[in-house]
Structure 1
Amino acid sequence: MDYISTVSWSHLQPFVISLFIMISSFTIIIKAFRNHSIDKSKLPPGPKPWPIVGNLPEIVARRPVFRWIHNLMKEMNTEIACIRLGNVHVIPVTCPTIACEFLKKYDADFASRPLTMATDIMSGGYVTIAVVPFGEQWKKMRRIFVNDLFSSLRHQWLQDKRNEEADNITFYVYNQCNNVKDGGLVNLREVSQHYSCNLTRKLIFNTRYFGNGREDGGPGLEEVEQVNAIFTLLKHVYAFSVSDYVPLLRMFDLDGHKSKVMKGMKIMEKYHEPMVEERMKQWNDGSKSVEEDLLDVMISQKDDSNNPILTKKEIKALTTELMLGGADNPSNAVECALAEMLNHPDVLQRAIEEVDNVVGKERMVQESDIPKLNYVKTCVREAFRLHPVVPFNPPHVSMRDAMVGEYFIPKGSHVLLSRIGLGRNPKVWNEPYKFKPERYLQNDGSMIVLSEPSLKFISFGIGRRGCPAIVLGSTMTVMLLARLLHGFTWSKPPNVSSINLAKSNSGGMLLEPLVLEAKPRLPSKLYYM
């Protein structure tokens, strides 16, 4: 019977695939009639689309897609474009003025998100916040994030946990310095990624380790597996997948994205679900009644009738989304900032002198020092501008037809603000490809912040879909860089004349992890927790 079933499917498979393609094409043709009613002369400029499929052949043939888009816009000499993928108008933007129109003037019209294979799986069927389309679920989650999870009072409440992870990563790097086997070499990508994930894990679950951990403060096997899964998921969250523009093709997983996302989610669930289940049991049987971390906060949320506000499914999905949200932006900014600073010794020295002047050498830098570390913060800002972790911000979907500037943006369009294009726009930035932190310093000595409301670059976004945890993200990024600069002397490895700043095909991270020599520069007693 199994043999007959296998043979039957092998014969039927080409027919079924052809049938789905025909149905997909028919659906696209029907929707295309609406496109004929659009005044093409008012759309942003773009490449001529193929019949029915639009520019889908180009995104298949010209990987990485972000590079093709940016080269295309450069060739067309435009700061806004329109690329049709199936029936979706994709609108990349590299102009801050136009970007502000989308996210300020018309923010309400562009406050939704697209439905994709990856975001559906990662969000538990769209029950979280970051990737959820605009609607009641998003409004519910936004209120909880702003009022309960990332309020200023909650930020203060969680400070001890952040301090623990700052101390631990300093201790770990100190132990790496003394590791004769590795010759005092430190992998800054590993350090920054695990610091970001350790901190987020501590805030959510009140633990650094899922297993026994390591005596030197480094990640255990469980944490390495989880962090690898996190960055696999982030790589695919808004990848240009053909099936996202022709949804009927999703079941075939033509580009292999679905299998990778599913594997990554299984790893996340392996570690998260037992902890959520046990914690909910503790709250239900009364053995726990005091909030100690963000998981407790989520579980203990009640409505006016004393019923839980969040379901178990929502809580599990949120723990994953929170881990994803805290991983890449801070870690990449610190790695890239240090890479640039090693290539610009004057910048490195100025940052070190600032930390020494503010903190001295008899204690470690603390969060209370951050307001005075203006030059360190300019280095982080410049890393966000010049080395964004992803080429594009998450897509903003138009909920109605709109005119932005002089262009018509059809309902359902995916607006992509280019982090690369905004941060390196030569009309906005003098010497856009040069790492110049001093460009942000003001004569009046006003305090530097990492957010950028004018969208000349993107750090955490703005508007309804901006990051609700800007204060946390800013704090952990500056704190990590400040600890590394204050606690250690950094130098290039032997036989390395300059740090390679070439990027990976994902467009965000450095092609090669940053590996540097490190030596402690403070009294040894300060490195022990």
Structure 2
Amino acid sequence: MENNTIPLAILIAVLLVITTIIFEWPCYMKLRKLPPGPTGIPIFGCLPQMLLNKPTFRWIHSVMDNMNTEIACIRLGGVHVIPVTSPELAREFLKKQDSTFASRPDCMSGRLSSNGYLTAVLTPMGDQWKKMRKVLATNILSPAKHNWLHDKRMEEADNLILYVYNQCKNSLEAGGLVNVRIAAQQYCGNVIRRLIFNKRHFGNGKEDGGPGPEEVEHVAALFTILTYIYGFSIADYIPWLEIFDFDDHKAILKKAIANITKYHDPEIDDRIQMWGKGMIAMEEDILDVLINLKDLKGAPLLTNEEIKALIVEIMLATVDNPSNAIEWALAEMINQPEILKRALEELDIVVGRDRLVQESDLTYLKYVKACAKETFRIHPIAPFNVPHVSMEDATVGGYFIPKGSHVLLSRPGLGRNPRIWEEPLKFKPERHLKDDCSDVVLTDSNLRMLSFSTGRRGCAGVLLGSTMTTMLFARLIHGFSWNAPPDVPNIDLTESEGDLLLAKPLLALAKPRLSEHVYQQLGN
């Protein structure tokens, strides 16, 4: 009799606990005040609204605008998604309570893109993240390594000028139409391929210095992954639905990753074998460095799979921000020629017209950097930063943030916040120039805009990203005069509906403006 009573008592206790949770949880959550947000339904939360209102980032911002709030709570499946457009609250999340919000989501898109969380940026908090973050900060993106890789970056800066010049050389006086998006994106791809693999092309490229089909496919695959990482897939919020892949996010990601690894893996495998056979004596690029890292016992620090995953992540972190910023900046400045004129005057004073911009010049190009920073503010590449996940219950701004919440800092929400910025939609680079004439940096420590993230999960590549952005921008506007195409009075600054890019790639008329010998030297 006693043997039957004990299991029955346990069952009754479990049922009581479950019943209490079901009926008391909503009351508990009301007592713990969540940020305002739309009402969802059991199990699915606001997923139906999300699916009916694409693109999701515009729906989220519309919800916040309609509720007149700078922080919201939108439940997607079992996840509380917390979008933020307030700099004060952003500092609370990423500075004051940084240790609480320093993890990443465990979800389909993050797992696939990091090959099972072998990397640094996408990996949840833990020993693997600490290991890979240290590798990035100490061995790859340190100031010393940045200096070591200087010549490779300059090779690609020279190739950029030669490529654009070749678009003009059939008629130097009339100039040539240049697709700035292609030039900027491929420059970023060229730089990071050169830094990692010590080569610009996976194939033969083109005679004019432009990308071949292999490079076009490679860069397109990188941008596809960037679009779908944390791209509001159903499976990211209700994991058991991943098998069905209702929105095709998983299939798209897997195809893009396969397109990248078919170029990367043979390069990496061959290099590892060459080092193993003693065929290489000196490190020349990032891949060599990663292969030769050792642990305290003298064994390889990284597995082959970790090297491959980390290289994909470095690629992803490099190609988008600089290329998008320069396309938007040039479009804005063609429409406001007085801004372009001021930037050119600075370049001509600092550099002149008998040589090309060098990295050593960048410190003195304050107005040029102010233009780049203003572009990061008003035209960010992504609607949100990489999600921060709360590792425990917290209170921010008087609101309860449950453990496991995904905190999304809105890049356009911060950079275009009318409470913070005067004329927030107007392109005004001078707003970033300081009275004390100090250097202009592309970051904002007060998080009034988000170009590179901060805190424990801050971007380890700020130096590289800032250098690439400024060099790309300075080289293009110093080396060529830029105007709208013939019969086009102004550049159309319409933003794409599905993302934050220009709706149409920027086509602009470029004409060489430096001494002829400067360009001729590049062809030798």
| Superposed CA offset, 1:371-413 (max 9, x none) | 0000000000000000010111111000000011211100000
Name the counterpart of 2:431.
439
Structure 1 residues 30, 116: closer, same or farther in 2, change over 3 A?
A: farther
Aligned to 1:89, the other structure's residue is in SS state strand
- Of stretches 206-215 and 418-427 in structure 1, the one that deviates more from structure 2 is 206-215
- Cα distance in 2 for partners of 1:408, 1:33 equals 20
Using the TM superposition, give the Cα deviation of residue 30 of structure 1 relative to its aligned residue in structure 2, in angstroms.
Answer: 12
1:90-169 equivalent positions in 2, closer than 5 A: 90-169=81-160
Using the TM superposition, give the Cα deviation of residue 214 of structure 1 relative to its aligned residue in structure 2, in angstroms.
Answer: 2.0
- Cα distance in 1 for partners of 2:377, 2:498 equals 17
Aligned to 1:467, the other structure's residue is in SS state coil
Name the counterpart of 1:57.
48
Structure 1 residues 489, 30: closer, same or farther in 2, change over 3 A?
A: farther
Name the counterpart of 2:318.
326
Which of 253, 274, 278 does residue 270 from structure 2 map onto? 278
- Cα distance in 2 for partners of 1:113, 1:122 equals 13
Aligned to 1:466, the other structure's residue is in SS state coil
- Cα distance in 2 for partners of 1:341, 1:511 equals 17
1:322-361 equivalent positions in 2, closer than 5 A: 322-361=314-353
- Cα distance in 2 for partners of 1:193, 1:115 equals 30
Using the TM superposition, give the Cα deviation of residue 131 of structure 1 relative to its aligned residue in structure 2, in angstroms.
Answer: 0.7
Name the counterpart of 2:39.
48
Please say if 1:419 is aligned against 2:415: no
- Cα distance in 2 for partners of 1:115, 1:495 equals 51
- Cα distance in 1 for partners of 2:303, 2:25 equals 41
- Cα distance in 1 for partners of 2:109, 2:428 equals 37
- Cα distance in 2 for partners of 1:79, 1:390 equals 18
- Cα distance in 2 for partners of 1:301, 1:429 equals 46
Q: Counterpart of 2:406 in structure 1: which amino acid? A: H
- Cα distance in 2 for partners of 1:261, 1:93 equals 27
Which of 376, 379, 382 does residue 384 from structure 1 map onto? 376
Q: Counterpart of 1:138 in structure 2: which amino acid? A: W
Name the counterpart of 1:25.
none
Structure 1 residues 29, 425: closer, same or farther in 2, change over 3 A?
A: farther
Structure 1 residues 30, 263: closer, same or farther in 2, change over 3 A?
A: farther
Name the counterpart of 2:165.
174
Using the TM superposition, give the Cα deviation of residue 34 of structure 1 relative to its aligned residue in structure 2, in angstroms.
Answer: 8.9
Using the TM superposition, give the Cα deviation of residue 68 of structure 1 relative to its aligned residue in structure 2, in angstroms.
Answer: 1.1
1:216-365 equivalent positions in 2, closer than 5 A: 216-365=208-357
Q: Counterpart of 2:221 in structure 1: which amino acid? A: A
Using the TM superposition, give the Cα deviation of residue 38 of structure 1 relative to its aligned residue in structure 2, in angstroms.
Answer: 2.6
Q: Counterpart of 1:504 in structure 2: which amino acid? A: S
| Superposed CA offset, 1:219-247 (max 9, x none) | 11110110111111111011011121111
Aligned to 1:459, the other structure's residue is in SS state coil
| Superposed CA offset, 1:2-49 (max 9, x none) | xxxxxxxxxxxxxxxxxxxxxxxxxx9999789534335511111112
Q: Counterpart of 2:160 in structure 1: which amino acid? A: I
- Cα distance in 1 for partners of 2:499, 2:309 equals 27
- Aligned partners of 2:175 and 2:510 also within 8 Å: no
Using the TM superposition, give the Cα deviation of residue 505 of structure 1 relative to its aligned residue in structure 2, in angstroms.
Answer: 2.8
Please say if 1:81 is aligned against 2:89: no
- Aligned partners of 1:170 and 1:487 also within 8 Å: yes
- Of stretches 501-510 and 197-206 in structure 1, the one that deviates more from structure 2 is 501-510
Please say if 1:190 is aligned against 2:190: no
Name the counterpart of 2:366.
374
Aligned to 2:487, the other structure's residue is in SS state coil
How many percent of aligned residue pairs carry the same amino acid? 56
- Aligned partners of 1:31 and 1:87 also within 8 Å: no
- Cα distance in 2 for partners of 1:401, 1:95 equals 20
Which of 491, 494, 499 does residue 491 from structure 2 map onto? 499
- Cα distance in 2 for partners of 1:69, 1:48 equals 13
Structure 1 residues 205, 484: closer, same or farther in 2, change over 3 A?
A: same
- Cα distance in 2 for partners of 1:89, 1:179 equals 57
Aligned to 2:100, the other structure's residue is in SS state helix
- Of stretches 375-384 and 443-452 in structure 1, the one that deviates more from structure 2 is 443-452
Structure 1 residues 333, 526: closer, same or farther in 2, change over 3 A?
A: same
Using the TM superposition, give the Cα deviation of residue 183 of structure 1 relative to its aligned residue in structure 2, in angstroms.
Answer: 6.9
- Aligned partners of 2:230 and 2:236 also within 8 Å: no
TM-score (norm 1): 0.92
Q: Counterpart of 1:307 in structure 2: which amino acid? A: A
Aligned to 2:407, the other structure's residue is in SS state strand
| Superposed CA offset, 1:328-385 (max 9, x none) | 0010011111011011111000001100010011110100000000000000000000
Name the counterpart of 2:9.
none
- Aligned partners of 1:235 and 1:506 also within 8 Å: no
Using the TM superposition, give the Cα deviation of residue 116 of structure 1 relative to its aligned residue in structure 2, in angstroms.
Answer: 2.1
- Cα distance in 2 for partners of 1:225, 1:447 equals 38
Using the TM superposition, give the Cα deviation of residue 74 of structure 1 relative to its aligned residue in structure 2, in angstroms.
Answer: 1.0
| Superposed CA offset, 1:230-286 (max 9, x none) | 111111011011121111011111001111111111111110000000000011111
- Cα distance in 1 for partners of 2:82, 2:24 equals 18
| Superposed CA offset, 1:430-461 (max 9, x none) | 00000000011112211100011111001011
Name the counterpart of 1:17.
none
Q: Counterpart of 1:468 in structure 2: which amino acid? A: A
- Cα distance in 2 for partners of 1:33, 1:240 equals 30
Cα RMSD, aligned residues only: 1.8
Aligned to 1:109, the other structure's residue is in SS state coil
- Aligned partners of 2:383 and 2:412 also within 8 Å: yes
Name the counterpart of 2:511.
519
Aligned to 1:147, the other structure's residue is in SS state helix
- Cα distance in 2 for partners of 1:59, 1:405 equals 26
Structure 1 residues 98, 364: closer, same or farther in 2, change over 3 A?
A: same
Using the TM superposition, give the Cα deviation of residue 290 of structure 1 relative to its aligned residue in structure 2, in angstroms.
Answer: 1.2
Unaligned 5+ runs, structure 1 = 1-27
Using the TM superposition, give the Cα deviation of residue 62 of structure 1 relative to its aligned residue in structure 2, in angstroms.
Answer: 0.6
- Cα distance in 2 for partners of 1:350, 1:183 equals 22
Using the TM superposition, give the Cα deviation of residue 147 of structure 1 relative to its aligned residue in structure 2, in angstroms.
Answer: 0.7
- Cα distance in 2 for partners of 1:270, 1:239 equals 24
| Superposed CA offset, 1:50-89 (max 9, x none) | 2221111110001111111111111111100111111111
- Cα distance in 1 for partners of 2:111, 2:221 equals 17
TM-score (norm 2): 0.93
Q: Counterpart of 1:295 in structure 2: which amino acid? A: L
Structure 1 residues 451, 29: closer, same or farther in 2, change over 3 A?
A: farther
Name the counterpart of 2:15.
none
Aligned to 2:119, the other structure's residue is in SS state coil
